[in-house]
Amino acid sequence: MARNRIRRHAPALLALLVSALLAGHALVPNAGPRLGSLLETFLPWTGAVVPPLLLFVLLRRRTPVAVCAVLLPALTWAWLFGPHLLPRDDHGADLTVVQHNVSDENPDPAATARALARPGPDLIALQEVTSATLPVLRSALSADYPHHASHGTVALFSRHPLTDVRPLDIRPAGVDPSWQRALRATAHLPRHGEIAVHVAHLPSVRITPTAGLTSARRDESARLLAAEIDAETLPRVLLLGDLNSTLDDRGLSPLTSRLPAPVHGLAFTWPASLPLARIDQALARGPRAIDVTPLPGTPSDHLPLLARIRL
């Protein structure tokens, strides 16, 4: 009898659990295997259980209470992510940027560069740029992007002059000094003046059966990058980078608490073959990121990200 009752109410109980995870993801503990960050990395996909649950309930002619219970996670998902799916603001942007991890194994960086320039962005920020691919990228982009800066494995190409270019040290403790994955530059926009542009590639994470989500170094690097942003003297700041997580992940809270998220667009960029998450980001302080959208794939395992910024 008890087993039948549990089976009868299982869809509603599962729906309530999904609703609780969506609404209360920040309460999931992050000690040890960092289950909280793991959940938040793929949080939008939590709602994927709702359609089959609803179909099951309707086909089995469950009570209206069960139907309402299954609709609860759908409403919670819409509250969290629905605004990103609304029609985008077409009043125009003052600045367009492309962010892309080009992959250090990219077999055709010249074609990748041409693809990134095709939408005509003002700025192109790149990660995993090797010493061999940098000259190829410069050659392919030099006509339209005569101003560029690079440090280690990150690079910035601009239609407009760049000054005060300097490296940023966001290395986690114990990482070799050859690990150079962040830079800062001032872009001089013809109609809108100066904006500080930070380009960064945070440490990668891994998911293992024993350790869970290994994100401690990424989180430490995010805190170091946030300190650099706090020290920024210009009022307008733009951060472009492969941050190796989504904006829902509390590990990036040092950055997301300072730099608001884009208003429109889920824009999953990774992995390129089956995009499940947006780990490439365009965040701004002072300016406002109106929307983000993925661009067609390149030989990289990331999709490029196009962001429109209103100044």
Amino acid 89: pLDDT: 63
Query: Where in the chain does DSSP place strands (E)?
Result: 95-101, 123-127, 147-151, 154-158, 162-167, 182-189, 193-201, 207-208, 212-213, 237-242, 280-285, 288-294, 305-310
Nearest to 202 by CA among 251, 166, 159: 251
Domains of the chain by residue range: 2-85, 95-310
SS3 272: coil
pLDDT of residue 7: 61
Q: What is the mean pLDDT of residues 245-264?
A: 90
Mean pLDDT of the chain: 89
In the CATH scheme, what architecture does the domain 95-310 have? 4-Layer Sandwich (3.60)
Closest CA to 204 of 114, 279, 309: 279
- φ/ψ region of 276 (left if φ > 0, alpha if ψ in -120 to 50, else beta) reads alpha
Reported confidence tier of residue 88, pLDDT bands at 50, 70, 90: low
Q: What is the DSSP letter of 87?
A: P
pLDDT at 210: 60
CA 10 centroid distance within chain: 35
| Under 8 Å between Cβ of 160 and 122 | yes
User: Global pTM?
Assistant: 0.88
- Residues with Cβ within 8 Å of residue 106, at least 6 apart in sequence: 112, 128, 133, 298, 299, 300
**Lowest mean pLDDT segment, chosen from 8-17, 26-35, 112-121, 258-267:** 8-17
Q: What is the pLDDT of residues 210-253, one digit of tens each?
A: 666 788 899 999 999 999 999 999 999 999 999 999 999 999 99
Q: Which residue matches tokens 């790149």?
A: 126
Indicate the pLDDT class of residue 5, thresholds 50, 70 and 90: low
